[in-house]
A and B are shown apart, each in its own frame.
Chain A
Amino acid sequence: MKQATDFIVCEAVDYGRAALLRLRSQDPLPVIKPGQFANVRVDGSPSTYLRRPISIHEVDYASNDITLLVQKVGEGTKRLAGMKCGEKVNLVFPLGTGFTMPSEGERVLLVGGGIGIAPLYYLAIHMNVEGLKPTLLLGGKTKDDLLRLEDYQKLGDVLVTTEDGSLGEKGFVTAHSVWNHREFDKIYVCGPKPMMKAVARLADEKEVWCEVSLENLMACGLGACLCCVEDTVDGHVCVCKEGPVFNIRRLKW
Chain B
Amino acid sequence: MTIDLGRGLVLRNPVMTASGTFGYGEEYTDFVDLSELGGIIVKGTTLNPREGNPYPRMAETPSGMLNCVGLQNKGVRYFIDTIYPRIKNFDTNVLLNLSGSTLEDYVRGAEMIDTLDKIPAIELNVSCPNVKQGGMAFGVTTTGISQVVSEVRKVYQKHLMVKLSPNVTNIAEIALAAEAAGADSVSLINTLMGMAIDAEHRKPKLSVITGGLSGACVKPVALRMVWQVAKAVKIPVVGLGGISNAIDAVEFMLAGASAIEIGTANFIDPAISVKVAEGMKEYCERHGFQRVSELTGILDA
Size bin of chain A's contact surface: 20 to 34
Which of B6-14, B18-26, B96-104, B139-147 lies at the interface?
B18-26
Tell me the complex Cα distance, A230–B21, Å: 19
A93 CB to nearest chain B CB (Å): 11
Q: What residues on A are CB-neighbors of B23 within 8 Å?
A: 222-224
Query: Of A3, A217, A223, A235, which contacts B27 at CB under 8 A?
Result: A223
For residues 137 through 172 of chain A, which have their beta carbon under 8 Å from a beta carbon of chain B?
none
Nearest neighbor of B25 in chain A, beta-carbon distance = A224
Q: What residues on B are CB-neighbors of A235 within 8 Å?
A: 51
Q: What residues on B are CB-neighbors of A222 within 8 Å?
A: 23, 27-28, 270
B30 CB to nearest chain A CB (Å): 4
For residues 23 through 82 of chain B, which have their beta carbon under 8 Å from a beta carbon of chain A?
23, 27-28, 30-31, 43, 51-52, 54-65, 67, 69, 72
Query: Of A47, A51, A216, A217, which contacts B267 at CB under 8 A?
Result: A51
Q: Could you mark each residue 157-196 of chain B with 1 if its beta carbon is under 8 Å from any beta carbon of chain A, else 0?
A: 0000000000000000000000000000000000000000
Q: State whether B269 touches A220 (Cβ < 8 A).
A: no
For residues 87 through 144 of chain B, which have their beta carbon under 8 Å from a beta carbon of chain A?
none
Nearest neighbor of B67 in chain A, beta-carbon distance = A227
Query: Of B43, B51, B216, which contacts A236 at CB under 8 A?
Result: B51
Q: State whether B62 touches A47 (Cβ < 8 A).
A: yes
Tell me the complex Cα distance, A241–B267, Å: 14
Tell me the complex Cα distance, A74–B270, Å: 24
For residues 215 through 253 of chain A, which have their beta carbon under 8 Å from a beta carbon of chain B?
216-231, 235-236, 241
Nearest neighbor of A240 in chain B, beta-carbon distance = B27
**Interface majority SS (helix, strand, loop, mixed), chain A:** loop
Q: What residues on A are CB-neighbors of B69 within 8 Å?
A: 225-227
Q: State whether A226 touches B270 (Cβ < 8 A).
A: no
Tell me the complex Cα distance, A2–B30, Å: 6
B54 CB to nearest chain A CB (Å): 7
Nearest neighbor of B205 in chain A, beta-carbon distance = A217
Q: State whether A236 touches B72 (Cβ < 8 A).
A: yes
Interface residues of A (CB under 8 A from B): 1-4, 41, 47-51, 92, 216-231, 235-236, 241
Interface residues of B (CB under 8 A from A): 20-23, 27-28, 30-31, 43, 51-52, 54-65, 67, 69, 72, 215-216, 264, 266-271
Question: Sorted from nearest, which 7 A-B pairs have the closest CB atoms?
Answer: A224-B23, A227-B58, A2-B30, A222-B27, A220-B267, A224-B27, A227-B57
A-B contact pairs, 29 of them (CB 8 A): A2-B30, A4-B31, A4-B271, A48-B60, A49-B60, A50-B60, A50-B267, A51-B267, A92-B270, A217-B58, A218-B58, A219-B58, A220-B21, A220-B266, A220-B267, A223-B27, A224-B20, A224-B21, A224-B22, A225-B58, A226-B57, A227-B67, A228-B57, A229-B52, A229-B55, A230-B55, A231-B54, A236-B55, A241-B27
